[in-house]
């Protein structure tokens, strides 16, 4: 848009951005990855948290932009990101502090009237990259505490929608739960995932029966170690069998 003002502006498409809702699981609860905004002079005036996001570059697809954002903000590569929804209400930039932050961060002389944001969801196992989040000023916020904090732009709405989507997706596409489990997992861990996502306790025996009936959950000849109780069997998720059984779902 502003070809003069800087090279950054030349290659950015400031009318379209991507935002990533990274939902993490820490074996106990769901957390969402938020970025602390860099603070300028009057620190108080700014909403401290936002989703990782960025305007797209002209030479990258939406999917590539979302991947870039995740790598830039968190160091995370190889995370499966799924496009989720576009946000384009006309009052998305209603807060002056949000606009100021955008201009400062991206070196813009001016901001468009509106930025349409394409949001992406990732569902990840937190333990994989606990150290990286500190480097990038990213922080895990428990989903249960979201009501108490202020988020920039319409990011609260986006997070709320994303969590609702994940709850639904687990029903139709159970493979996503294995993204937040280690490669080898116990039935207890698997059950904890389902209980956390659904928000209710599940019957142990029925759960065990149901899961071991699934052909793509295979028991390994291996037990967990260093636990202060009887060791549980380990299982793995067989992606090949899963895909064969479910076709293109």
Interface with a second copy by CB under 8 A: which residues?
13, 15-16, 56, 58-63, 83, 85-90, 112-114, 116, 118, 168, 171-172, 249
Q: How many residues bind DNA (CB under 7 A)?
A: 18
Return the SS3 of 162. Answer: helix
Stretch that binds DNA, among 47-55, 99-107, 131-139, 220-228 (CB under 7 A): 220-228
User: Minimum CB separation from DNA for residue 245, in Å?
Assistant: 12
| Residue among 191, 226, 227, 223 nearest 206 (CA) | 191
The CA R_g of the chain, rounded to the nearest whole Å, is 21
C-alpha span between 155 and 33 (Å, rounded): 12
Residue 48 interacts with, from DNA, a second copy, none (CB under 5-8 Å by kind):
none
Q: Which is nearer to a second copy, 11 or 39 (CB)?
A: 11
Residue 216 backbone phi and psi in degrees, to 5: -95, 5
Q: Looking at residue 153, what DSSP letter applies?
A: T
Contact with DNA (CB under 7 A) among 3, 7, 44, 230 = 230
Q: Which is nearer to DNA, 120 or 235 (CB)?
A: 235
Q: Which residues contribute to the site for DNA (CB under 7 A)?
A: 186-188, 203-206, 208-210, 223, 227-233
């Amino acid at each position: 848009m502003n070809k003069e003002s800087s090279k950054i502006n030349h290659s950015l498409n400031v009318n379209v951005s991507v935002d990533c809702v990274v939902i993490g699981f820490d074996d106990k609860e769901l957390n969402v990855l938020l970025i602390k905004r860099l603070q300028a002079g009057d620190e108080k005036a700014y909403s401290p948290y936002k989703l990782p996001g960025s305007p797209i570059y002209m030479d990258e697809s939406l999917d590539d932009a979302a991947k870039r954002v995740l790598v830039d903000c968190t160091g995370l590569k190889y995370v499966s990101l799924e496009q989720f929804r576009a946000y384009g209400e006309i009052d998305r930039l209603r807060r002056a502090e949000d606009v100021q932050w955008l201009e400062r961060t991206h070196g813009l002389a001016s901001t468009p009237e509106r930025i349409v944001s394409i949001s992406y969801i990732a569902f990840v196992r937190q333990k994989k990259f606990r150290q990286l989040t500190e480097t990038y000023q990213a922080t895990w916020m428990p989903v249960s505490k979201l009501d108490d904090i202020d988020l920039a732009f319409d990011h609260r709405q986006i997070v709320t929608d994303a969590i609702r989507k994940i709850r639904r997706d687990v029903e139709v596409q159970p493979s996503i739960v294995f993204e937040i489990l280690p490669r080898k997992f116990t039935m207890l861990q698997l059950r904890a995932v389902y209980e956390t996502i659904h928000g209710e306790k599940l019957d142990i025996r029925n759960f065990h029966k149901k899961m071991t009936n699934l052909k793509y959950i295979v028991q390994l000849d291996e037990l967990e170690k260093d636990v202060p109780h009887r060791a549980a069997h380990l299982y793995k998720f067989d992606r090949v069998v899963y895909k064969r059984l479910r076709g293109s779902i």
